[in-house]
Amino acid sequence: MPYIEVNGIKTNYVDEGTGECILILHGWGASIETFRPVIDYFKNKNRVVALDMPGCGKTEEPSAAYCMNDYAAFVNTFRELLGIQNPVLMGHSNGGRTILKLFSQNPSYPCKKVILIDASGIKHKRSFAASVKLYSYKTVKAVLQCPIWKNAAAPLLEKARTKFGSADYQNSSPVMRRTLVNIVSEDLKYALPMISVPTLIFWGDKDEDTPLSDGKMMEKMIPDCGLIVLKGAGHYSYLEKLGEFLRVSDYFING
């Protein structure tokens, strides 16, 4: 796979096929390879470009924690470096969140169509149990930063992360943990009416990471939008129902 330097980060990507371009943005902790069946299908009809986002797959981590403005700037620079104009933007989970951020900054973003898949970006109030876990971890962290706990802090803090943190948080490096905190703290619901191009949403009705209610809200608030509910599928609905996803998205993209 080729590499390109994007905003100081060595970035892994693929650029396959010819024709109208589809630019694919994967979700948190995933990589190009989670979209390999989609790439292999569409490269026979379209130019398909996909990249490993910072800190994912074979792309370097950023030197400091990212926020959503950084992700948007990263994708913009990448698109410009590869000469991509008016692509179809396809984003899963955090990739969908990045698309929302791009339109929040520019409602006339150079894009022909949008496909959102189990997209994140809508912030929810925490349940009581989730709040207890979060603040318990913060309390433990504050205690362990006291000088008298200095030598024991690292292993104990790791145990606290394991006990109280989410799987995504536990599996991330320190800079990516801070990045995750930054991105989930921003509510991008306000950006939904700013998406000015035809939009298709896919959602698994069994998704426990981003609930189907988010997809229904997006369908209601995005002006030109349709929602496809993939029955029995979870957060990676496009893989679990690959045939249905490919048929419908192909018709939406290529007609």
Model pTM score:
0.84
d(CA 161, CA 96) in angstroms, rounded, equals 27
Strand 88-92, strand 113-117: pairing: parallel
Cα maximum dimension of the chain? 66
Per the CB < 8 A criterion, the answer to whether 53 and 78 are in contact is no
Q: First CA to last CA across the chain, in angstroms?
A: 30
Split at pLDDT 50, 70, 90, the class of 4 is very high
Split at pLDDT 50, 70, 90, the class of 136 is very low
CA distance readout (Å), 192 to 57, 91, 139: 29, 14, 36
Query: Mind listing the pLDDT tens digit for each residue in 29-64?
Result: 899 999 999 999 999 999 999 999 999 999 999 999
Q: HSE on the CB side for 223, CA within 13 Å?
A: 10
Going along the chain, which residue ranges are E strands?
A: 3-6, 9-16, 21-25, 47-51, 88-92, 113-117, 199-204, 225-230
47: closest CA among 30, 71, 24? 24
d(CA 207, CA 118) in angstroms, rounded, equals 8
Split at pLDDT 50, 70, 90, the class of 143 is very low
